[in-house]
Structure 1
Amino acid sequence: MKNLRASCLCFLLLGWRAGCGFERYSSLGETVTLPCAGFQKYENSFIYWTFSQRSGTASELASGGKITVKQPERAARLEVLPDSSLRIHHLHTEDAGRYECQQYLNGMLYKGGTPVVLTLLTSFLQYSSLGETVTLPCAGFQKYENSFIHWTFSQRYETSSELASGGKITVKQPERAARLEVLPDSSLRIHHLHTEDAGRYDCEQNINGYFHSGGTPVFLTLLTITAVPGRDLMRGIDLALQCTLVCNGGIADCRSVPDNVKLTWVDDEGTALQGDMFKITSYRTHSILSLELQKSDHNRRWRCDLTEGGAVKASYSYTTTLAGSADRISPLQAGSNPTLTCSLTCGFVCPPAKLLWSDSNGNSLHGGAREGFLIRSNITSSQLFLTGLQSSEQIRCSVEEEGKQRVYLQYLIQLPVSVSKVELIIRVFIFCAVLIIPAIIGAVVYVKRSKRAAEEVTSGIELTPVRGLPVSPGITATL
């Protein structure tokens, strides 16, 4: 069926079918080699390659082993091999057409080579990120009574494997089967994307036992971030974050990605990261962000956007958690019901590990060890639900890997200090005492000083005799 579809594309693209010559099939982004046979080598001869589409005039591509096409971008993708074959790298849509090699001998042109008709199989690129959910469309089919849709998956040049048939998931791996879902319109939905999900997806229609490949293949490309180092981050450490495209099952298999796809590091508002503290090295399929961690980078989210033609198609984030740092939660009221979330951020597939909750003394909070603490966990994240919180708590989330635990994240939950009635009375008494005692001391001091001043005023004063009153000689009265 693939050859049948390719032949139809040949007819549509070139405008002819009979006499197409030697047919060659390939896909966008691939590399193809077109043979030039049927000529003998002579001293004064050379090979001449031409290209044409539909009924247009043939244009020259190469002559005498040298690329002569005028368009620089196309010329960079063409190569003449020693046997005069023409190799085309990173195929574009406009490369589909008729190629002819001819021989010049002593100024005369000889058309002895068989024309090569290059037909490209079109595909649909779908972008997403690890952990996300994506829906792959299946279109181009009509519904018949005895028909059903058949989904297959392949990577690189491996044989395709069946994923679903007749609306039912048929893949053998239980973990992968649990993440797949066929929708009523025959689209395939993939939940919680993994690295191994990157590749080619084909939907085919089976009618009365015969398969018809009329659907457009979907190439799923995933976006991910890896960190070096990936653990035990601290202030002052040099960190390298690599944002990478995963295509067709591997990082290096992204030949079908268009040239207008870019990877950009941005902040939470979508503004590109700038400044001397960031060093960004960008390539076609990955981008590296290098920096020295600061105290303010604790729980900071670093986001990588994948854009195609300026439009954001996918995003992936990585959060840096510095060892020994604590998330201080705003003071809560007694009886509050906060929820704490602890999650693993993995570059590709998370290693076998467990997320464990404990208090500041290292006592486990799992299995109902403490009333009011409820834990729900999955493979990469865990949530702690606190009900009726009555006191401040310092809680740790640790990751257990190969039997060893290390602190992954700490939370410090603060409640306002509650005051009992007795404590309130004591505090009021102390407050009043602080205000009254200085006043009493001041009053006592004032009375004593007033009495002393009165004594000083009256001591040493003589009484002067009043005229007209007899006073005995030698007698004085003092007060």
Structure 2
Amino acid sequence: MADECHLCLLGLIFLSSLLTGTSGVGETHVFISSGENVHLPCNNALPDCKSTTWIYENSIYHSAAVKLFARGIKKKNTEIHKRLSLGSDCSLSIKNVKKVDFGLYSCQQYVNGQKLRTDASVYLNVLQVSSSSSQTEISAGSSVTLSCQLYPYADLPCDDWIHNEGIELFFVNQAGDKLKTSDSRYQISAPGHCTITLTTILLNEDDNREWRCEVTHGHQVKTSVTYTVRYSERVENWVGRGYYVRLLLIVIIVEFAAFAAPTVILLQIICARRDGRKDS
């Protein structure tokens, strides 16, 4: 009975593809910032995710395709596999996305060992911002350089792909205004279309200030990464400790004087009385 149902389902899918005149389900581009969670849709999903297989390809980090899920079951227990889960709609969820996760994710469907339809391809593009200085070294007057890089997966080189797709990478301030190279305070450079850097000298008022790197496609923001400047706790704690140390010393001196003065007076009285008795 189950085999007959699978055959009927296969026939319906085949008939549907003939009627619509399409042989695929298209491609999806997903943009995400590193450290966030993402859900990759499976646009050819069947009601039962036990027929779903997810495959991952990355020509830079992997020489061959990696099978993440096969018939709804997780295949391995590597670092990336531990961050994966399968949704009720057969979507692929990735927790704490890292830059090495960019690549091509393909959702495939199998019934009775036979592959149905074409793959539902999802291209994951990861955006990441890094700083030239660690947070323990940042203070007013120091120079900081922020590097924002997009890791896309495409058949073309990154710069060519961004140019052809009309994708733009840039920095904005807390108010959302785009930072321009004409502003003398900022040195903005773009070694490539997929990388942009921002260099500036920090001011006193820059503590807890935010700069954001954004990716737009057709003037629509796809994803962004915010970098918050926080001045070194080490310097702030040192100033705070100096204040409290001085206050503590003052309190100790006052307390010592308050207790020592009566004691000295009492000793003087006792000594005076003894001297008086000796004289008498």
Q: Evaluate the alpha carbon distance shift between residue 286 and residue 261 of structure 1 in structure 2; reply closer, same or farther with a 3 A threshold.
A: same
Q: For residue 219 of structure 1, what is the aligned residue in structure 2?
A: 123
Q: For residue 309 of structure 1, what is the aligned residue in structure 2?
A: 218
| Separation in structure 2 between the aligned mates of residue 281 and residue 264 of structure 1, nearest angstrom | 10
AA aligned to 1:221 is N
Q: For residue 152 of structure 1, what is the aligned residue in structure 2?
A: 55
AA aligned to 1:318 is Y
Among residues 78, 90, 94, which one is paired with 1:186 in the alignment? 90
Q: For residue 129 of structure 1, what is the aligned residue in structure 2?
A: 33
AA aligned to 2:29 is L
Q: For residue 261 of structure 1, what is the aligned residue in structure 2?
A: 167
CA positional deviation for 1:214: 1.8
AA aligned to 1:308 is H
Q: For residue 297 of structure 1, what is the aligned residue in structure 2?
A: 206
Cα pair 1:123 1:219 within 8 Å, conserved = yes
Q: Evaluate the alpha carbon distance shift between residue 254 and residue 168 of structure 1 in structure 2; reply closer, same or farther with a 3 A threshold.
A: farther
Unaligned ranges ≥5, structure 1? 1-7, 14-120, 327-359, 362-393, 396-411, 413-479
Answering whether residue 146 of structure 2 is matched by residue 241 of structure 1, we say yes
Answering whether residue 80 of structure 2 is matched by residue 176 of structure 1, we say yes
| Separation in structure 1 between the aligned mates of residue 160 and residue 112 of structure 2, nearest angstrom | 37
Unaligned ranges ≥5, structure 2? 1-16, 245-280
Q: For residue 259 of structure 2, what is the aligned residue in structure 1?
A: none
Q: For residue 188 of structure 2, what is the aligned residue in structure 1?
A: 280
SS in 2 for 1:196: helix
| Separation in structure 2 between the aligned mates of residue 178 and residue 254 of structure 1, nearest angstrom | 32
Q: For residue 177 of structure 2, what is the aligned residue in structure 1?
A: 271
Among residues 72, 77, 87, which one is paired with 1:167 in the alignment? 72
| Separation in structure 2 between the aligned mates of residue 227 and residue 263 of structure 1, nearest angstrom | 17
Give the number of the structure whose residues are more often helix, by fraction: 2
1:103-159, Cα deviation, whole Å (9 max, x unpaired): xxxxxxxxxxxxxxxxxx963211000011111111134447x96000010101721
When the two chains are superposed, the root-mean-square deviation of aligned CA atoms in Å is 3.1
AA aligned to 1:247 is P
| Separation in structure 1 between the aligned mates of residue 99 and residue 34 of structure 2, nearest angstrom | 7
1:236-277, Cα deviation, whole Å (9 max, x unpaired): 22221111101249xx75654443111121122322125321
Q: For residue 109 of structure 1, what is the aligned residue in structure 2?
A: none
Question: How do 1:302-451 and structure 2 match up within 5 A?
Answer: 302-323=211-232, 324-326=234-236
CA positional deviation for 1:167: 2.8
SS in 1 for 2:120: coil
| Separation in structure 2 between the aligned mates of residue 254 and residue 130 of structure 1, nearest angstrom | 20
Q: Evaluate the alpha carbon distance shift between residue 213 and residue 228 of structure 1 in structure 2; reply closer, same or farther with a 3 A threshold.
A: farther
| Separation in structure 2 between the aligned mates of residue 321 and residue 259 of structure 1, nearest angstrom | 36
| Larger RCO: 1 or 2 (CA < 8 Å, sep 6+) | 2
SS in 1 for 2:205: helix
Q: Evaluate the alpha carbon distance shift between residue 204 and residue 284 of structure 1 in structure 2; reply closer, same or farther with a 3 A threshold.
A: same
CA positional deviation for 1:292: 1.0
| Separation in structure 2 between the aligned mates of residue 311 and residue 297 of structure 1, nearest angstrom | 28
AA aligned to 2:195 is H
AA aligned to 1:151 is W
| Separation in structure 2 between the aligned mates of residue 227 and residue 256 of structure 1, nearest angstrom | 26
AA aligned to 1:123 is E
SS in 2 for 1:193: coil
1:4-49, Cα deviation, whole Å (9 max, x unpaired): xxxx9xxx89xxxxxxxxxxxxxxxxxxxxxxxxxxxxxxxxxxxx
SS in 2 for 1:163: strand
SS in 2 for 1:235: coil
Cα pair 1:305 1:316 within 8 Å, conserved = yes
Structure 1: 4+ residue segments shifted above 3 A: 141-144, 252-259
Cα pair 1:138 1:215 within 8 Å, conserved = no
When the two structures are superposed, what TM-score results if normalisation uses the length of structure 2?
A: 0.66
AA aligned to 2:174 is D
| Separation in structure 2 between the aligned mates of residue 255 and residue 148 of structure 1, nearest angstrom | 37
Q: Evaluate the alpha carbon distance shift between residue 203 and residue 254 of structure 1 in structure 2; reply closer, same or farther with a 3 A threshold.
A: farther
CA positional deviation for 1:199: 0.7
CA positional deviation for 1:319: 1.8
1:390-444, Cα deviation, whole Å (9 max, x unpaired): xxxx79xxxxxxxxxxxxxxxx9xxxxxxxxxxxxxxxxxxxxxxxxxxxxxxxx
Which is further off, 291-300 or 178-187? 291-300
Question: How do 1:25-104 and structure 2 match up within 5 A?
Answer: none
CA positional deviation for 1:186: 0.5
| Separation in structure 2 between the aligned mates of residue 240 and residue 288 of structure 1, nearest angstrom | 7
Q: For residue 336 of structure 1, what is the aligned residue in structure 2?
A: none
Among residues 201, 204, 207, which one is paired with 2:111 in the alignment? 207
Q: Evaluate the alpha carbon distance shift between residue 273 and residue 253 of structure 1 in structure 2; reply closer, same or farther with a 3 A threshold.
A: closer
